[in-house]
Amino acid sequence: MVEMKYVPTICPYCGTGCGLNLVVVDEKVVGVEPLKRHPVNEGKLCPKGVFAHEFIHREDRLTKPLIKETNGEFREAEWDEALDLVASKLGEIKANNPDDIGFLACARSPNENIYITQKFARKVIGTHNVDHCARICHGPTVAGLARTFGSGAMTNDFISIESADVIFIIGSNNVEAHPLFGRRVMRAKKNGAKIIVADPRYTPTAKLADMYIEFRSGRDVPLINAMMKIIIDNDLQDDEFIKNRTKNYQRLKETVAKYDLDYVAELAETDPKKIEEAALMYAKADKAAIVYSLGITEHRHGADNVMANANLAMLTGNIGKVGSGVNPLRGQNNVQGACDMGALPTDYPGYQKVVSGQATKVVEENWTCTLDGCAPGLTVVEMIHAAADGNLKAMYITGEDPVLSDPDTNHVIEAMENLEFLVVQDIFMSETARYADVVFPAAGWGEQEGTFTNGERRVQLVRKAVNPPGEAKVDWEIMKEIAVRMGAESEQFTYKNAEEIFDEMRKITPQYRGMDRKRLERPEALHWPCPDESHPGQGLMHIDSFAHPDGLGVFEPADYIGPSELPDEEYPLVLTTTRTLFHYHASMTRRCKTLDKELPTGYVEINDKDAKKLGIINREKVKVRSRRGEIEIPARVTPDIMEGEVNIPMHFFECAANFLTTSRELDPKSKMAELKVCAVDVEKME
């Protein structure tokens, strides 16, 4: 007799957090059905969600621990041998210096796994060297919004966007990268909202716009500063909001006064009339919302870009009300949760600073331990540099693939090869896992319980539908085994299930304190902040006050510093990178046969005028070079990208954009690398 069941859970891809059912027949996931009543997606899914099940039972899943022999080949090992080896090697390195070890948590994994990763790093090893991929996607959001609003998260819930009168979208192609949020933008347009899109590419999102502003990559700060100058010059600022809710306005006013419209238009290579019209349209709206994503954050001035957007919203009083706000769209399903859980070298769970003695005391009391030192640890990019320089001895990487996703791939490979010991915990043999000394097979999506936190701060249950393959284990179970072997107090790692971990986590995380599994069982789940068990959760933030101690928002004016690398005679084009509709990070979507068939490899978008000058025709293979490397890749000739710019999707290792990007100059406020702008040359191949 065939047994079929539907298991409700949350999509494992972008930060929208759509609800779906896994269709299970005889203990195999055979399909996906959208959850009709789910408040985020309302019974709709994008192609990635529809075919998400196709990677779960792949034959190339990791099923047993692997240990690399001296000849460089992996062999299968029993769990005890692999766990003992990892515990012994980490113990040896820790004995010399705990800060010789670095950890990467997995933003695709449930909160409970991430919480244990940072707890293991801090309590068992004794280091704050713990980070995750937000560092190279939304680290500037956390840093920039924390400085301006006091909280580094999206200010409004998703449904709020449908009530906007004007939506200013910059650095976000949400129709492809966050399609179910893009659907809400389309609804807003039907409701009468005017859409402004600023982007170097005429994206599917830009094609929805009432106004499209084409501008050169990396000129976001001067563009937004010019808009604010126009608003102030026309006396359209919200004086009452500025007086009662903010501080530092005079310094903002002095800074933006320098950004003359004609100067900015020339610098950004854009139409000054469009900048002026966009500024007036935004300022005159009763409810105006800002939407951005990686096009804003992935710069060496990413935090400045974020703060410029925050300044624009506060200048016009567009904070704390429905249809307004600053709305960063998170790239991965649980990147918000990974930040919340303290997978950051500067923060404990709940954004409590490691430099704060009071925060450390709270954590120590709950973990019954003493934490050595309170200096922040290394970020992921700093760990890579330290490993390459011989100053980091070991890394423990769960579910991240820095060889594919981090800038300057050749440098990342150099770093991985230079480590004394590398542990990777994953569901497939990733590009990074190939360099590991030990690879642990992890349980994946649909194979474990826990919670994801989406981009609007909605904490949602993910449920187990089937058992993991072979001998694969849940991340927190693996780390629990190593912790015990390394002498951690047994009572600190005796969890029986994910719910026990969540209950411990919420005790030290103010934003989650009022949540429990029973309350999360509801389809709408709960938004944080949820400070106590009587609190309904809060989709809209900063209604009456900001999250700073004095309740005031802080204008943080930013000046233009520009990209770290500009085109020159040898490298005359600007490279930017993007996501596509059919792919996420490669290890999952490229193993979904339907999605892989739709887009089997990468391409470089090049303006038709640039292509004509170079003699390049559509679909022919070309060579793209930068100062760090080169790739061969098919050309996609199109008028939908600005002349002088090229664009490469980030998903495909055989023609990976990150062989070209740079990691040497970092944003001083967030340690973000310059992923969105570098100088390249495109050559026709013989």
Query: Would you kindly state where each structural domain of the chain is located, as residue ranges?
Result: 4-51, 66-125+353-527, 155-329, 573-684
Provide the CATH number for the domain formed by 155-329 in this structure: 3.40.228.10
Whole-number Å distance between alpha carbons of 455 and 453: 7
The stretch 574-579 carries a mean pLDDT of: 94
Give the percent of the chain with pLDDT over 70.
99
* Confidence at 266, pLDDT banded by 50, 70, 90: very high
* Confidence at 493, pLDDT banded by 50, 70, 90: confident
Instruction: Give CA separation, 71 vs 75, 90, 433, 637, in Å.
Output: 11, 22, 16, 45
Q: Do domains 4-51 and 155-329 have the same CATH topology?
A: no
Q: Which residue has the higher pLDDT, 643 or 359?
A: 643
In this prediction, residue 664 carries a pLDDT of 81
In this prediction, residue 651 carries a pLDDT of 86
Winning range, highest mean pLDDT, from 131-140, 488-497, 598-607: 598-607
Residue range 4-51 in CATH 3.30.930.10: no
pTM, rounded to two decimals: 0.96
Residue-wise pLDDT for 533-559, tens only, equals 999 999 999 999 999 999 999 999 999
Whether residue 122 is predicted with pLDDT greater than 90 in this model: the reply is yes
Mean pLDDT of the chain: 95
Residue-wise pLDDT for 170-225, tens only, equals 999 999 999 999 999 999 999 999 999 999 999 999 999 999 999 999 999 999 99
Indicate the residue type of 83.
Answer: L
Q: Which residues contact 188 (CB under 8 A, 6 or more apart)?
A: 161, 162, 163, 164, 167, 195
Q: Are 619 and 635 in contact (CB under 8 A)?
A: yes
* Confidence at 67, pLDDT banded by 50, 70, 90: very high
Residue-wise pLDDT for 394-430, tens only, equals 999 999 999 988 989 999 999 999 999 999 999 999 9
In this prediction, residue 372 carries a pLDDT of 64
Q: What share of the chain is helix, strand, coil (3-state, %, to 5)?
A: 35, 20, 45
- Give the rounded distance of the alpha carbon of 9 from its chain centre: 21
Which residue, chain included where needed, has tokens 């204008």?
555
Would you call 113 helix, strand, or coil by DSSP? helix
* Confidence at 373, pLDDT banded by 50, 70, 90: low
In this prediction, residue 388 carries a pLDDT of 97
CATH architecture of 573-684: Beta Barrel (2.40)
Residue 620, Cβ neighbours under 10 Å: how many?
A: 13
CATH of 66-125+353-527, one of 3.90.190.10, 3.40.50.740, 3.50.50.60, 3.30.930.10: 3.40.50.740
The stretch 146-158 carries a mean pLDDT of: 96
Residue-wise pLDDT for 446-474, tens only, equals 999 999 999 999 999 999 999 999 999 99
Whether residue 108 is predicted with pLDDT greater than 70 in this model: the reply is yes
In this structure, what token pair is assigned to residue 673? 């690398």
* Confidence at 490, pLDDT banded by 50, 70, 90: low
Whole-number Å distance between alpha carbons of 413 and 316: 47
